[in-house]
Structure 1
Amino acid sequence: MIDVAEQLARAVSLRETGSVDEARDLLLKLSSAAPDDSRVAYQTAWVHDVLGLERDAIPFYVRALDGDGLSAVERRGAMLGLGSTYRTLGRYAEAVSVLSAGVAEFPDDRALAVFLAMALYNAGNAKEAVAGLLTVLADTSADPEVRRYERAIRLYAEDLDRVWD
């Protein structure tokens, strides 16, 4: 009987130390042996992304997110990974959908918000994309000049087309 947790830890270690092809081989075997294990699916998706095999990553991301067992950090990573992968492949509506769900579930995660802004831009919604980026900027910048104009930046994020009379 295969020890899934032990083999998963080995695969992650292989990926982290640069033995990505070996990690992929092990994760594909684990995915076959434990098809309902969300953590295995997530790590399998991740290793495919690292190898530039985005199309192959998608079903594993979907399986990971459809199942139970991911920690909040893993779930967030899977949502960002799937959304980013969809965007990379030109599947913008799907990217916006996944990343919007990620932002709703993890509202304090600025990386999700930035990736959502990129997907919104690609989907033809530049106004919403810029507004999202302005909000992230206002929320996170330590630059004194940005801080000085934070109120104005937030107002413009709410309505970029507003004209002041």
Structure 2
Amino acid sequence: MNDDRDAALARAVRLREQGETERARGELLALTDRYPEDAEIAYQTAWAHDKLELEAEAVPYYERALSTPGLTAQDRHGAFLGLGSTYRVLGRHERSLETLRRGLEEFPDDPALRVFAAMALYNAGEHHESVTTLLKVVAATSGDPGVHGHRRAIEHYADDLDAFH
């Protein structure tokens, strides 16, 4: 990679992390002009837009990040989560579900992707699948002793919410 690019990207990320998101956004936009096919820069640019509640402006950067090679698995995961969540906030529930499901194809057991998919399912009117998904995530990830002690029952009823026995 290019040392100038790496230093500029690191500086912009640091600015975002320090709460100077508007400044970070400006630097990231300049970097996207210089490196339009750079997935990492596109992802960081999307993230800065999201942090500033500029969701609609974030979408093309998330899409570019996911369609261009070069993201680490962690950043790819973050891009699926960010884009899926952003589509949901924008009321584009089917696109949100599509994106989160693509993310789950790559990261099938990821609880965060599953929870965001459950929210999108709820918004899309798929209440049964939404609750089922949430119950399974709770059963699998909760450290609460009461939940853990009833994990098998929760998993059973998650598959058959209408069962009463």
TM-score using structure 1 length:
0.95
Query: What amino acid does structure 2 have at the position aligned with 1:115?
Result: F
Quote the residue 1:63 is aligned against. Answer: 64
Quote the residue 2:104 is aligned against. Answer: 103
Moved over 3 A (4+): none
CA RMSD of superposed structures (Å): 1.3
- Structure 2: stretches of 5+ with no match in the other structure: none
SS at match of 2:104: helix
Say whether residues 1:27 and 2:36 are aligned partners: no
Deviations 1:97-151 (CA, angstroms, capped at 9, x unpaired): 1111112211232111100000000000010000000000100112121122111
**Cα distance in 2 between the residues matched to 1:105 and 1:158:** 23
Q: After superposition, where does 1:68-83 map in structure 2 within 5 Å?
A: 68-83=69-84
Say whether residues 1:36 and 2:37 are aligned partners: yes
Query: What amino acid does structure 1 have at the position aligned with 2:52?
Result: L
SS at match of 2:162: coil
**Cα distance in 2 between the residues matched to 1:147 and 1:7:** 46
**Cα distance in 2 between the residues matched to 1:149 and 1:33:** 55
- Structure 1: stretches of 5+ with no match in the other structure: none
**Cα distance in 2 between the residues matched to 1:43 and 1:61:** 9
TM-score using structure 2 length:
0.95
**Cα distance in 2 between the residues matched to 1:102 and 1:33:** 28
Q: After superposition, where does 1:4-153 map in structure 2 within 5 Å?
A: 4-153=5-154
- 1:2, CA displacement in angstroms? 8.3
